[in-house]
């Protein structure tokens, strides 16, 4: 079943340029993973230092194994260690409530 990860990230303001560049590289690399179906990168309207990632994977393993063992993943972890304060990155894991119609727009 499709597996969704919604990530909220609060970035140290003084690292925003470094973080944004690294986030972009991570998005491009993750979208190229065979198990990644979608990777949207958003910024909240009331706080420009808060990002939201909406990630869809073919299944849970595509995230926990495929994504986290991808060659580009360690650079992302290192980036977050530099740019995100403790507790500033929060993952929510979810699955489709109506699996037969994940969205009418696919």
* SS3 state of residue 45: coil
Q: Pattern of binders to a copy of itself over 55-94, x per CB under 8 A?
A: -------------------------------------xxx
Asked whether 16 and 49 are in contact (CB, 8 A), the reply is yes
Among 42, 65, 75, 77, binds a copy of itself (CB under 8 A): 42
* Short-list 16, 92, 18, CA closest to 49: 16
Q: Residue 84, Cβ neighbours under 10 Å: how many?
A: 17
Q: How far apart are CA 34 and CA 10, in angstroms?
A: 28
Segment contacting a copy of itself (CB under 8 A): 24-32, 64-72, 78-86? 24-32
Contacts with a copy of itself by CB under 8 A lie at 4, 6, 8, 20, 23-24, 27-28, 31-32, 37-46, 51-52, 54, 92-98, 101-105
């Amino acid at each position: 079943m499709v597996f969704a990860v919604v990530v909220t990230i609060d970035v140290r303001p003084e690292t925003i340029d470094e973080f944004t560049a690294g986030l972009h590289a991570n998005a491009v690399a993750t979208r190229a993973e065979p198990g990644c179906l979608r990777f949207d990168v958003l910024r909240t309207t009331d706080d420009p230092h808060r990002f939201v990632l909406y990630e869809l994977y073919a299944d849970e393993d595509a995230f926990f194994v495929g994504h986290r063992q991808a060659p580009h993943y360690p650079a992302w972890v290192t980036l977050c260690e530099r740019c995100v304060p403790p507790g500033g990155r929060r993952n929510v894991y979810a699955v489709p409530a109506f699996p037969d119609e994940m969205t009418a727009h696919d």
